[in-house]
Structure 1
């Protein structure tokens, strides 16, 4: 694997063409669901594979993140985007201790190489420098995604962000202490 360069992305760079080689494929077989107050794994097979519409929406969201004072980091191998993460700029929760990690994705063929861990570490450092105590993560409920976040020390959020929970009711609401 070539060296990975991680750097902030400007609003101008956040065009759909940036994602032309990015592969947001995931074969999901099991997902976590909260049943009677406990998280259990259920067989919920599906394929997630983003197309032009999803990348166009993503581009609009990431542009808005930068426009509103948030941060978007891109991980590049040579000139190719292989991962990205975004941090929103709006504090929330009791004592305004949370900042939201709104996205963290690594291209399919580059997963398991530590790129996601690097992105999370850099975003966490940035959030801490901004005064946050915790990252809030509304994360995909797939077994693999949850294993990734929990292996880094994420736990179920003490406080749920009702807006994010309503937008993605099957996501697991996590936090990461900075």
Structure 2
């Protein structure tokens, strides 16, 4: 694989064409669900494939992240976006300890090459620089997504963000202590 370059993106970088070569595809076979206070891996299968509507919505969200003082990161291979992450700049939690990792995605063809782990590490540094004690992730409940977050050291959130739970009730609410 060619060298991957990581950089902080500015508002002018965020446009629909940025995602021309990005493939947000995921074949899900199993998802985690919390039932009677226990996590259970259930047979829930579907294919997730982003189209133009999802990318248009994403562009608006990422521009808003930058306009509100958050950070958007990009991973590039041969000048094409192969991964991205975003950290919001709105503190929450009983001690205002959390900032949200609002997105972390690697293009389908580039998964398994450490791009997501590197983006997560940079996002942690950015959140720490903004003053956070913990990173909060409302994460896809798929087995693969949860395996990734567990591998980088995330655990179930001590405090749940009510709005994020209401927005995505099937997501797993995670946190990562910033060191």
Q: Same fold (TM over 0.5)?
A: yes
Give the distance between the partners of 2:49 and 2:109, measured in 1 at CA: 13
Shift of 1:95: 0.8
Shift of 1:131: 1.4
Q: Which residue of 2 aligns with 1:172?
A: 172
Q: How does 1:64-83 map to 2 (within 5 A)?
A: 64-83=64-83
Q: Determine if the alignment matches structure 1 residue 4 to structure 2 residue 1.
A: no
Q: Please give the secondary structure, in 1, of the residue aligned with 2:95.
A: helix
Task: Give the alignment's TM-score, normalised by structure 2.
Answer: 0.99
Q: Which residue of 2 aligns with 1:119?
A: 119
Q: Please give the secondary structure, in 1, of the residue aligned with 2:76.
A: strand
Q: Determine if the alignment matches structure 1 residue 145 to structure 2 residue 145.
A: yes
Q: How does 1:49-128 map to 2 (within 5 A)?
A: 49-128=49-128
Shift of 1:67: 0.7
Task: Give the alignment's TM-score, normalised by structure 1.
Answer: 0.99
Q: CA RMSD in A?
A: 0.5
Q: Residues 138-177 of structure 1: CA distance to partner in whole angstroms, max 9, x if unpaired? A: 0000000000000111000000000000000000000001
Instruction: Count residues in correspondence.
Output: 178
Q: Please give the secondary structure, in 2, of the residue aligned with 1:28.
A: strand
Give the distance between the partners of 2:38 and 2:49, measured in 1 at CA: 29
Give the distance between the partners of 1:103 and 1:31, measured in 2 at CA: 19
Q: How does 1:15-54 map to 2 (within 5 A)?
A: 15-54=15-54
Give the distance between the partners of 2:154 and 2:108, measured in 1 at CA: 22
Give the distance between the partners of 2:27 and 2:4, measured in 1 at CA: 25
Q: Which runs of 4+ in 1 moved over 3 A?
A: none
Give the distance between the partners of 1:16 and 1:126, measured in 2 at CA: 24
